[in-house]
Chain A
């Protein structure tokens, strides 16, 4: 079986519950960062704790690209999903035939293989319409 590697270490966890995106939160001011920040970019405090983000959010915007990207042949979709933690995540979106994208629709996280590079499976995060 091919080796599985995350597209970016520490940005998500996998698991039987479907996994989750991992952010970090400033212990002083509470600001949440995704991807994680080394120090709080709001108040410069250096202690941050890892927090998992909600799996469901609303679609803030989307576009369907008609040219290839690193992992996806055209047409492929991508968008911003607003999560309840006040975090806006950029992610690829799964195109589902009978659920066309619409600003404000509910979206759900999926952790899955994005593609293969050098015989390694690249694992990443995407959102799909609920």
Chain B
């Protein structure tokens, strides 16, 4: 296996932009990533794109807008982990020596998708969905157990949202740049008790892209490339094997594989970008990723460790809560965000001295399974 570097990163504006097509969003992200990499779009040898809604030949659709045709293009879907899947696809192509340079693209136009302004609908054979189970309801059920087992309070959950919105105010890409207080978060409309509106990530349009290449090529562009030290992707196991729904065998095992591959542990991580679709969820993920011990996520939050300036800033970008969540784009966006920090180019939200960062994304729901898939990349410089 060859070492793989992140050569360029880019993203489109994130927001509600029904007048802009998915191809245009993708184009903006690709042009930004290519420019950042200092290459021509025609240097791209292979592309992986991820998109969930109304998605057919997304790579072709996006890349034809930037003068790229007639190369190998692969289109993937893996719910919210689709973007991670695209990054891992390109990583494999380069690590294995099939290609020397490729691009991973994640794009979603939520406002023009069939689920615009709606919740993600249950599938036809999803009896739990037909009986009322939605993503916010699922996280409401999880939150109740976090309260029962770990002593979490509604104020703790709201604090995650306060933190991530604060981070988002420092990020020019954030859809919502607004500070909130715990009271404002708690007093927003109740969605699924105890989760209120300002603790749910908004539906958002957006795209992100990363250019990956072999270390040989990267060293021609920079003396200090950002390296992909680990790429891990795993599908979930059966939910009936789980006694305690606040622990995630999927997240724990994906993280274990990633740390093993990178040859490091959670104590070495300087920043984390993760799937905070709901404020309550972020606390669960601290534990999955081993940032703290099982059951100690609330204490970790209260210690200030995951805030900017803390021990391991989590979602310094503002996370899905303030950036919004263009589903398939988020998994690529977190890799771009971590890269930006490792280069020291993250401006006001910069995690000082970051050398090792972890980009996580998780998604999907099916009756009988814990989730869909979890993808983790560890980047180093």
Q: Does B1 contact A (CB under 8 A)?
A: no
The answer to the question of A76 belonging to the interface, with a C-beta cut-off of 8 Å to chain B, is: yes
Enumerate chain B residues within 8 angstroms of A63, measured Cβ to Cβ: 137, 140-141, 143-144, 192-195
B132 with A65: CB separation less than 8 A: yes
- Chain B, interface SS category: mixed
Given A41-B238, A61-B144, A65-B140, the answer on whether A78 and B190 have CB atoms closer than 8 Å is no
Q: A63-B192, A66-B191, A67-B191 are in contact. Are A7 and B144 (CB under 8 A)?
A: no
Q: Which residue of A lies closest to B121 (CB)?
A: A70
**Residues from chain A with Cβ under 8 Å of B134 in the complex:** 65, 67, 69
Contacts A65-B134, A79-B141, A92-B132: A35 and B192 contacting too (C-beta < 8 A)? no
How distant is the Cα of A11 from the Cα of B240 in the complex, in angstroms?
A: 17
Query: Which stretch of B123-131, B214-222, B315-323 is in the interface?
Result: B123-131
Range of interface residues on A (Cβ < 8 Å): 20 to 34
Which residue in B122, B131, B191, B367 is a CB contact (below 8 Å) of A91?
Answer: B131
Contact of B130 among A31, A64, A65, A70 (CB under 8 A): A70
A88 within 8 A of B: yes
Question: What does the 1/0 interface line of B178-197 toward A look like (CB < 8 Å)?
Answer: 00000000000111111100
Q: B234 to chain A: closest CB distance in Å?
A: 18
Closest to A126 in B: B131
Q: How many residues of B contact A (CB 8 A)?
A: 30
- Tell me if B145 counts as interface (CB < 8 A to partner A): yes
- Type the 1/0 row for A19-46, where 1 means its CB is closer than 8 Å to any CB of B: 0000000000001010100000100000
A87: chain B residues within 8 A (beta carbon): 240
- Which of A33, A41, A60, A78 is the one whose CB lies under 8 Å from B131? A78
A7 and B131 contacting across the interface, CB-CB below 8 Å: yes
B55 on interface, CB distance cutoff 8 Å: no
- Of the candidates B128, B144, B240, the one whose C-beta lies within 8 Å of that of A62 is B144
Given A35-B367, A64-B192, A78-B132, 15 new contacts (CB under 8 A): A7-B127, A7-B130, A7-B131, A33-B240, A60-B245, A62-B144, A64-B193, A66-B191, A67-B119, A70-B122, A71-B131, A72-B132, A79-B141, A88-B240, A90-B133
* Residue positions of B touching A, CB distance < 8 A: 119, 122, 127-128, 130-134, 136-137, 140-145, 148, 189-195, 238, 240, 245, 367-368
Enumerate chain A interface residues (CB-CB to B < 8 A): 7-8, 11, 31, 33, 35, 41, 60-67, 69-72, 76, 78-80, 87-88, 90-92, 103, 114, 124
